[in-house]
Structure 1
């Protein structure tokens, strides 16, 4: 005996029914905007490690939560601003990794030492090591504009990936002996002290967030949406300024840390 079974669909599922079956709950009657509810739920899921393998894209979140693309974009914008995800226009969001290298504020630090303290191999690609004049830098060091300066430009690596583009100017009259140093795996301050007796004992830094130039992105191996820190340093010996340094550091691999207490300050917030 032969035969077959047949099924007839006599109803249909509406879009609203499908959404209700698949979306995660958001309270449309709450005072909290939908984008903020979505942002908070995503933070909870991030903290639980739910997105360890892959962070969902905009369309997946629209489907999962039953909200508009505009709502999703508002939530993702806040996550990016908080440093929890990274994403560029037209690119899949991904979970931001924790910085590997931490540097203290208020201390004359060595990036060489900080990278090695993080358990990573420190090495550099030397792009330039020569003598040149730079009137603007000379002025910052309190020198005449045509003063010869030792200029060192390196791409600093931490492990297998680039970390920073580092540019340093020193008066040639003091620092000429460092021209013979091999800066692929050594610290400038160490070479300066060993070869000239000069000790940089204090400094003044200015730190700001920047968008790297196209050339800096190429050297750092990062995309257009990458954030970076620009650090300028005026280094001093006991006799006065001796070093001007400008460093562009990848924001995803580097963090500045500070310790503080009420101490002599009155806390008002």
Structure 2
């Protein structure tokens, strides 16, 4: 690629591709952009990442070439390039949860310096044989159902759906879940505190309706977290949470001496999800 001209000590700028090189144009653009990213030309202390048209002008190539370069950088996790939106730098997942611990999504959001807020989509009592059975109840047993869109700094983070025995959880119908956790309200209004449970985390492809709720495009994956919450030996909660994969990470710990362990140091923390 040709030499980039820039003021001494300033950003080096774009280097135009060498059309006589055997390396495809898109790969040359990708490599140069990767170098500019490494040099810190873009980001918090630099300029905003250029849009597609700006890159077309900087490199003197077609929009298709720019898109191929961005697609490769996106595959490396360096940029986020979504249809209908300008490309931007990828950032590490903002919310981290320990595996194998009684954790709090509410607390983890605020521990990351974000403001947690929920939009309640459903709060009612209904019958649902599938979830009643998962709670060890008769299929006709009434359940309290709570569905929330969880926000971090007013940006969608998760869709959270919970079912609890209505005979136990009916006082929650009067709770304001805008800025509080389910478990805090459950303890305050019923005296019940969760002591443990079972949880399964898996990667999923969200439905079109779920993508709209979460504000993500079709190429962004999500985590599905299914939890059975227990108070002693009694099932009191079935929860299905769909979390944006670009804002969430799960953490486990291991060592050569102790082997694989799931955040045992945090296992005693009280639930406040």
Deviates more, 1:41-50 or 1:177-186: 41-50
How many angstroms apart in 1 are the aligned matches of 2:19 and 2:191? 66
How many angstroms apart in 2 are the aligned matches of 1:61 and 1:206? 45
How many angstroms apart in 1 are the aligned matches of 2:158 and 2:137? 28
| Cα pair 2:229 2:237 within 8 Å, conserved | yes
Match of 2:38 in 1: 47
- Summarize the Cα distance change of 1:79–1:188 in structure 2 as closer, same or farther, 3 Å threshold: same
- 1:20-169 superposed matches below 5 A: 23-24=16-17, 39=30, 41-52=32-43, 53-55=48-50, 57=52, 60=55, 64=59, 69=64, 75-89=69-83, 92-169=86-163
- Give yes or no for the alignment of 1:175 onto 2:166: no
How many angstroms apart in 1 are the aligned matches of 2:17 and 2:257? 47
Deviates more, 1:37-46 or 1:21-30: 21-30
How many angstroms apart in 1 are the aligned matches of 2:177 and 2:60? 53
Gaps of 5+ in 2: 3-13, 261-273
- Summarize the Cα distance change of 1:90–1:130 in structure 2 as closer, same or farther, 3 Å threshold: closer
Aligned residues: CA RMSD: 3.4
| Cα pair 1:55 1:95 within 8 Å, conserved | no
How many angstroms apart in 1 are the aligned matches of 2:40 and 2:56? 17
Deviates more, 1:88-97 or 1:190-199: 88-97
SS in structure 1 opposite 2:255? coil
How many angstroms apart in 1 are the aligned matches of 2:19 and 2:187? 62
How many angstroms apart in 2 are the aligned matches of 1:150 and 1:130? 6
**TM-score after normalising by structure 2:** 0.74
How many angstroms apart in 1 are the aligned matches of 2:184 and 2:209? 29
Shift of 1:130: 0.9
SS in structure 1 opposite 2:132? helix
**TM-score after normalising by structure 1:** 0.75
Deviates more, 1:21-30 or 1:104-113: 21-30
How many angstroms apart in 2 are the aligned matches of 1:186 and 1:22? 51
How many angstroms apart in 1 are the aligned matches of 2:84 and 2:145? 40
How many angstroms apart in 2 are the aligned matches of 1:190 and 1:141? 20
User: Residue deviations 1:95-147, cap 9 Å, x none?
Assistant: 22333222222212111111121222222111111111111112222222222
Match of 1:7 in 2: none
How many angstroms apart in 2 are the aligned matches of 1:242 and 1:192? 10
Greater relative CO (CA pairs within 8 A, separation 6+): 2
How many angstroms apart in 1 are the aligned matches of 2:33 and 2:19? 12
